[in-house]
């Protein structure tokens, strides 16, 4: 199975790490600080799960997932350009400014997207944007919602998107729920969907949901 490196050991990263390890992948969960304690959701999940600093994670893994805070991800990942060269980078983050109450506010890259900025900074890496239009628990349990959710894909490389589609299926996503939007510039549309999230959370609390396409 593939070795998947996850940059970011918070709720998103730990949730993805546990599910990928449970499906047979070897997972390296990359902490910003090597002495940082593992996220509770990832502790004891599987012998296939290990921990490392982010540079080691990026260098060692076959495929890397960016689950770091979006407002600082560009600078952090640009510093890993050598380690990420020749690899697929799956970006699940949204780059927003804090609205003041801990919820997402304005976009950091209006008229662009974090995914586009990452692709420009990492020309030797294939960036694929996905899973950024839902709460983290839906990423690994899409069948728990009342209606089928949508996982959007954006990326310039068709082979990279096919590889990521396979990973989504490992997480429980059915083919009909995966929508390929096109090249990396289409990520600005899905990243803009984050603007609806704080309003939903303020009214309904932290309940699982996804911004989905219904036909």
Q: pLDDT at position 34, please?
A: 57
User: Facing residues of 158 across strands?
Assistant: none
The tokens for 29 are: 């969960």
Give per-residue pLDDT as tens, 16-72.
999 999 999 999 999 877 555 555 455 455 789 999 999 999 999 999 999 999 999
90-119 as b/e: b if 16+ CB within 10 A: bbbbbbbeeeeeeebeebbbeebbbbbbbb
Q: Is 123 exposed, middle or buried (0-12, 13-18, 19+ CB in 10 A)?
A: exposed
The tokens for 198 are: 């704080």
Q: pLDDT at position 45, please?
A: 54
Confidence category of residue 101, pLDDT binned at 50, 70, 90: confident
What percent of the chain shows pLDDT beyond 70? 94
Give per-residue pLDDT as tens, 153-175.
999 999 999 999 999 999 999 99
Rg (C-alpha) for the chain, rounded Å, is: 16
The tokens for 161 are: 């998107």
Three-state DSSP at 77 gives helix
User: Of 4-8, 26-30, 35-39, 127-131, where does mean pLDDT reach its minimum?
Assistant: 35-39
Q: pLDDT at position 150, please?
A: 98
Q: pLDDT at position 38, please?
A: 53
User: Of 67-71, 139-143, 197-201, where does mean pLDDT reach its minimum?
Assistant: 197-201
């Amino acid at each position: 199975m593939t070795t998947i490196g996850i940059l970011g050991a918070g709720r998103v990263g730990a949730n993805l790490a546990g599910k990928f390890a449970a499906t047979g992948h070897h997972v390296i969960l990359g902490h910003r600080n090597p002495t940082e304690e593992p996220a509770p959701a990832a502790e004891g999940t599987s012998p296939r799960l290990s921990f490392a600093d982010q540079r080691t994670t990026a260098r060692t893994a076959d495929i890397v997932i960016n689950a770091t805070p979006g407002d600082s991800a560009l600078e952090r990942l640009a510093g890993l350009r050598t380690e990420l060269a020749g690899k697929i980078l799956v970006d699940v983050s949204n780059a927003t400014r804090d609205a003041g109450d801990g919820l997402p506010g304005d976009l950091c890259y209006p008229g662009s997207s974090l995914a586009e900025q990452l692709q420009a900074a990492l020309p030797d890496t294939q960036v694929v944007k996905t899973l950024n239009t839902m709460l983290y628990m839906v990423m690994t349990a899409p069948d728990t919602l009342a209606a089928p959710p949508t996982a959007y894909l954006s990326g310039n490389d068709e082979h990279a998107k096919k590889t990521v589609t396979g990973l989504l299926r490992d997480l429980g996503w059915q083919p009909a729920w995966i929508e390929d939007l096109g090249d990396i510039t289409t990520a600005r549309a899905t990243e803009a969907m984050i603007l609806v999230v704080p309003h939903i959370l303020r009214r309904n609390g932290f309940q699982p949901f996804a911004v989905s396409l219904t036909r």
